[in-house]
Amino acid sequence: MEKSKGMLIVVSGFSGVGKGTVVQLVFESMPNLQFSISCTTRKPRAGEENGVEYFFLSEEEFEKKIAAGEFVEYTKTFTNYYGTLKSEIDKPLDRGVDVLLELNVVGAKNIKKLYPDSVTVFITPPSIGALKARLIGRGSETPESLSRRLKEIENESKDICHYDYVVTNNVARTCADEIVNIIRSERLKTSRQNLKNLFVQED
Amino acid sequence: MEKSKGMLIVVSGFSGVGKGTVVQLVFESMPNLQFSISCTTRKPRAGEENGVEYFFLSEEEFEKKIAAGEFVEYTKTFTNYYGTLKSEIDKPLDRGVDVLLELNVVGAKNIKKLYPDSVTVFITPPSIGALKARLIGRGSETPESLSRRLKEIENESKDICHYDYVVTNNVARTCADEIVNIIRSERLKTSRQNLKNLFVQED
């Protein structure tokens, strides 16, 4: 049996949509799926460990890696860099391991360009209105950051059509199951299978 | 909410692969899925009813429908016509109902041309050798029909690559679940969803 290459799955979603919980449930259902750890220059939050949630780098270290072409995608937010190392994706894929990346719409677009057979999934709320209400209800945002997030939602909305799949996060478990199903079904695509194995003559 | 159109699913598989059992299990799991009943000129077998397994037509009736352009696809085997009426597909699709068709590779190819967004699934045995052994083991074939079936398998093999998905029938229940997953995932494709519903302003 010839081993086929791993599959790259990219998950995006609006800020506040509950993406983290959904992705975690996907990993619980698929223990062989590998999470690709991103690099960031932001400071670790309480409980976060280097090499678990992120690789925490200094700005200097990050920029050195940019210069060396080590990232498949990176973005700079207002204050921090976020990026995905090529090695973190290619190594497991070559071993036949499926890799899941959590990225924003810009990162997802870059990945799709470099890995055209990657599978992109966008998580939406049942409605944009509900998401806005949830963000406002949280009360954890300053008026500035709230208006920035609402603006971000508007901008990201325009890119949903470029994703392969759109799933709705109404109940996190259901949404995660849908993503698990997508991954399993994509594995059955003719283009991802090695049909040669089928035609091995045994008679 | 704008209702989206139904989805057309075409299932094919080698003769003797156990397609009938798998398809039946798919329908048990998806009560809203509609089976498209084909027309044939072959005589009903014991227990078969007109309008259930097939529409049983005379050769004259069948040829009249061909002339009237009522078929989306039809084939003539050595002794009989088999065909799918356009109305049997379009009516449920327009109502938003998903339709499943069981077709040979020629029929599937024709349908894919007419309905480019249909989903095609090919059911294979774990190996071609095993299928041949099963066919021979049955003992129900004359040497002529056996050699014809083996030849057919060779020919159909060449067309598997044109299908969207390939599923293996090792255990019928597992194979059916895979097809159910494919149908559910295809429904989540961005291209099949009405994103307008998401952007309805509620605030």
In the chain, the amino acid numbered A13 is G
**More reliable by pLDDT, A103 or A203:** A103
Tell me, yes or no, whether B47 and B76 share the same domain: yes
Q: Which of B79, B97, B115 is the last residue before a domain boundary?
A: B97
Q: Give the pLDDT of residue B65.
A: 97
- Whether B155 has its CB under 8 Å from any CB of chain A: the answer is no
- Whether B130 has its CB under 8 Å from any CB of chain A: the answer is yes
Tell me, yes or no, whether B177 and B114 share the same domain: yes
Tell me, yes or no, whether B46 and B82 share the same domain: yes
Establish if A45 belongs to a structural domain: yes
Tell me, yes or no, whether B148 and B161 share the same domain: yes
Segment A101-151, tens digit of pLDDT: 999 898 999 999 999 999 999 999 988 887 888 778 877 778 888 888 888
What letter would DSSP give residue B190? G
- Please name the residue of chain B whose CA is at the shortest distance from the CA of residue A196: B127
Q: Give the pLDDT of residue A129.
A: 82
Establish if A100 belongs to a structural domain: yes
- Per-residue tokens: B181: 């997953």
Residue ranges of B 159-188 with Cβ closer than 8 A to chain A: 160-167, 178, 181-182, 184-186, 188
Tell me, yes or no, whether B134 and B194 share the same domain: yes
CATH number where B57 lies: 3.30.63.10
Q: Give the pLDDT of residue A201.
A: 52
Contacts of B28 (CB under 8 A, 6+ apart): none
Closest partner CB to B181 (pick from A124, A164, A181) = A181
Q: Shortest Cα distance from B37 to chain A (angstroms)?
A: 26
DSSP codes, B48-87: --BTTTEEE--HHHHHHHHHTT-EEEEEE-SS-EEEEEHH
pTM assigned to the model: 0.88
Q: Shortest Cα distance from A171 to chain B (angstroms)?
A: 16
Cβ atoms within 10 Å, residue A79: 7
In the chain, the amino acid numbered A158 is K
- Helices A172-187 & A19-29 angle (0-180, nearest 10): 50
Q: Give the pLDDT of residue B203.
A: 43
Q: Shortest Cα distance from A161 to chain B (angstroms)?
A: 6
CB A160 to CB B203 under 8 A?
no
- Please name the residue of chain B whose CA is at the shortest distance from the CA of residue A168: B188
- Whether B66 has its CB under 8 Å from any CB of chain A: the answer is no
Q: Shortest Cα distance from B48 to chain A (angstroms)?
A: 33
Closest partner CB to A127 (pick from B166, B185, B198) = B198
| Contact list, A161 vs chain B (CB under 8 Å) | 190, 195
Over 90: is that where the pLDDT of B138 sits? no
**More reliable by pLDDT, B69 or B138:** B69
CATH number where A179 lies: 3.40.50.300
Closest partner CB to A185 (pick from B122, B130, B182) = B182
Q: Give the pLDDT of residue A9.
A: 98
Segment B76-123, tens digit of pLDDT: 988 999 999 999 999 999 999 999 999 989 899 999 999 999 999 999
CB A178 to CB B188 under 8 A?
yes
Tell me, yes or no, whether B110 and B91 share the same domain: no
Tell me, yes or no, whether B14 and B80 share the same domain: no
- Please name the residue of chain A whose CA is at the shortest distance from the CA of residue B122: A190
- Please name the residue of chain A whose CA is at the shortest distance from the CA of residue B178: A185
Count of the separate structural domains present in chain B = 2
CB B203 to CB A178 under 8 A?
no
Coil, helix or strand at residue B151: helix
Q: Give the pLDDT of residue A203.
A: 43
Interface probe for B, chosen from A166, A168, A187, A201 (most Cβ of B below 10 Å), is: A166
**A15: containing domain:** 8-194
Average pLDDT value for residue range A148-168: 90
CB B203 to CB A161 under 8 A?
no
Establish if A135 belongs to a structural domain: yes
Segment A61-77, tens digit of pLDDT: 999 999 999 999 999 98
Q: Shortest Cα distance from B184 to chain A (angstroms)?
A: 8
CB B168 within 8 A of CB B130: no
Q: Shortest Cα distance from A133 to chain B (angstroms)?
A: 8
- Per-residue tokens: A75: 């973005």
Segment B29-50, tens digit of pLDDT: 999 999 999 999 999 999 999 9
Over 90: is that where the pLDDT of A195 sits? no
Closest to B166 in 3D by CA, of A96, A176, A163, A4: A4
What Cα–Cα distance (Å) separates residue A83 from each residue in A92, A101, A118, A145, B99?
17, 11, 17, 22, 44
Closest partner CB to B157 (pick from A129, A157, A199) = A199
Q: Which of B97, B129, B146 is the last residue before a domain boundary?
A: B97
